[in-house]
Amino acid sequence: MQARKFRVPQRKTQRRWRVPPALKRGDEIFEGLGVLDELSGERGLVLWQSLRDALLWADAQDDERAALFSSDAERTRMAMILAAQPAAEVEEPMSVLARMLGEPTRISEEMVALACRRISQWSDDEGLLATALAFAQAAATVTPGDPTAAFAVGKLARRRAEHARAETWFRRTIALARQVGDWATYAQAFNGLGNLYRQRGNFAAARRFLARAVRAAQRNSLHSIEGSALHDWFVVANQGDRPEEAQRLARAAFEAYGPHHPRIPALAQDVGYWWTQQGYYARALPVLRSSLAHFTQADDRLSAWSSIARAAGGLGDRAAFREAWDACYDEMQSTAADERAAEALLDMSLGAANLGMWDKAEQAAREALETGSRRSEGRIRLAAEAALDSVRHHRAVETHRATARPEVVEAEDSLAAEFIRSLQSGLATV
């Protein structure tokens, strides 16, 4: 029997669209300071100067660019690049930005923007998120009408917990994408806003934006983006304690993705986590373990391991919990895992509390509170405060609610089996 398509109510109102400005600085004293914070010495200095040159060039009018730089600026900058010996991945795009100094009226905006994007991608891969954000923003400044460039800035700002900056760039993306008919980026920007409001703990706003992402994706037959938005909406329903909605969305996301989509491992991990929260530990743990092998990034592995820690704690499996506890701390050594660290620590605390390991439970809850406060994650901060109070008094933190109707249990057991088949087939990889 074919699954019914998940339907989202249509908007009744019309909206006037204009392209809003976006925030270009957070709390840094001057633009690009994060580059110097993350990269010391000559490498950081020459990269920062390249950033400043690109921004200066982008802000100038065409007839002003010829007089921007001195006649020997290109030669001087190339000498600095050679002396700094930057990574091979950024040496060539930095050389493009150096050539911009000598030929400011002949180099194209596309070439400058591409150089900035390549430096941003390298920085992201190296865990240098401030540098990645600075160069992504430079690329978006060079090509102000490009919605994909604006969207990249919003995503990086959200990952750095710069929520105000992220929101302005997502809203700018929506307007730009609508102007040029880039419906994929349009839908993804609504998805980005939904996730941003989820991080802030505003689930009502998150649901509204994610519903708009689903509508835009369905209207334009963007099945992968539809699956992603349904997936994220499922997470919101879970965190907002809406179990019936979460059940429908879990199945809808699986159907939209298809069993061999590369995001199936992430969906399986999130749904397994939800089952753990409900007390269905025996159903959750095999799905979580099956998903783990598909993750290579530190942040994804941290989420998977912390979910396993919580499920193992609920099952009373001390050996599995200790393995997961140690693996979580190993993954948290990577700066790339910082975005997920607060939530992971909270799950580790809950798993430890279920086993009566009160010292570990208090340690993880305290660290979750510190990390959530630093990243302005209100939901995590409140949950960590509650967990910390409970474990200090050796009180149970979780209440087990495994009391679903038989038909619901059957449907969710079926979905768990489908996840495991998909993950073990070797086709759903990331």
Q: What is the DSSP letter of 29?
A: S
Is 244 within a domain?
no
Counted domains in the chain? 2
pLDDT category at 174 given cuts 50, 70, 90 is very high
pLDDT at 426 over 70: no
Residue 33 DSSP SS3: helix
Residues 270 and 411 in one domain: yes
Residue at 381 is within a domain = yes
Contacts of 343 (CB under 8 A, 6+ apart): 303, 306, 368, 377, 380
- Residue 254 falls within a domain, yes or no? no
pLDDT over threshold 50, residue 281: yes
> How confident is residue 399, by pLDDT bands cut at 50, 70 and 90?
low
**Where among 129, 144, 159 does a domain terminate?**
144
Asked if residue 4 is part of any domain, the answer here is no
Confidence check: pLDDT of 402 > 60: no
CA distance 8 to 247: 16
Query: Is pLDDT of 203 > 60?
Result: yes
Q: Is the pLDDT reported for residue 394 higher than 90?
A: no
Q: What number is the average pLDDT over the span 80-92?
A: 94
Determine contact, residues 152/72, Cβ cutoff 8 Å. no
How confident is the model at residue 429, as a pLDDT? 43
Q: Among residues 81, 132, 418, which one has the least CA distance to residue 254?
A: 418
How does residue 1 score in pLDDT terms, banded at 50, 70 and 90? Answer: very low
Q: Which amino acid appears at position 340 of this protein?
A: R
Average pLDDT in the chain: 91
* 2 pLDDT above the threshold of 50: no
pLDDT at 311 over 90: yes
DSSP-derived letter for residue 263 is: T
147-156 pLDDT, tens digit per residue, is: 999 999 999 9
Q: Is residue 159 part of a domain?
A: no
Q: Is 205 in contact with 167 (CB distance < 8 Å)?
A: no
Please tell me the predicted confidence (pLDDT) of residue 96: 96
Which of these three, 111, 144, 177, is where a domain ends?
144
What pLDDT, on a 0 to 100 scale, did the predictor assign at position 17? 61
Does 27 have pLDDT greater than 80? no
Percent of the chain with pLDDT over 70: 93
Asked if residue 223 is part of any domain, the answer here is no
pLDDT (tens digit per residue) in 227-275:
999 999 999 999 888 999 999 999 999 999 999 999 999 999 999 999 9
pLDDT at 66 exceeding the cut of 80: yes
Residue 27 lies in a domain: no
Q: Are residues 137 and 271 in the same domain?
A: no
Please tell me the predicted confidence (pLDDT) of residue 11.
58
Contacts of 43 (CB under 8 A, 6+ apart): 84, 85, 86
Percent of the chain with pLDDT strictly greater than 90: 77
What domain range is 418 assigned to? Answer: 263-424
Q: What is the mean pLDDT of residues 4-30?
A: 69
Decide which of 144, 170, 190 is a domain's last residue. Answer: 144
Higher pLDDT residue, 236 or 335?
A: 236
Kindly tell me if the per-residue pLDDT of 306 is higher than 50: yes
**Region 40-57: what's the mean pLDDT?**
94
Residue 318: CATH number of its domain: 1.25.40.10
Is residue 321 within 8 Å of 355, Cβ to Cβ?
A: yes
Residue 220 lies in a domain: no
Quick one: average pLDDT of 337-357? 93
State whether 419 and 274 are in the same domain: yes
User: Predicted confidence band at 336 (pLDDT cuts at 50, 70, 90)?
Assistant: confident
Q: How confident is the model at residue 94 (pLDDT cuts 50, 70, 90)?
A: very high
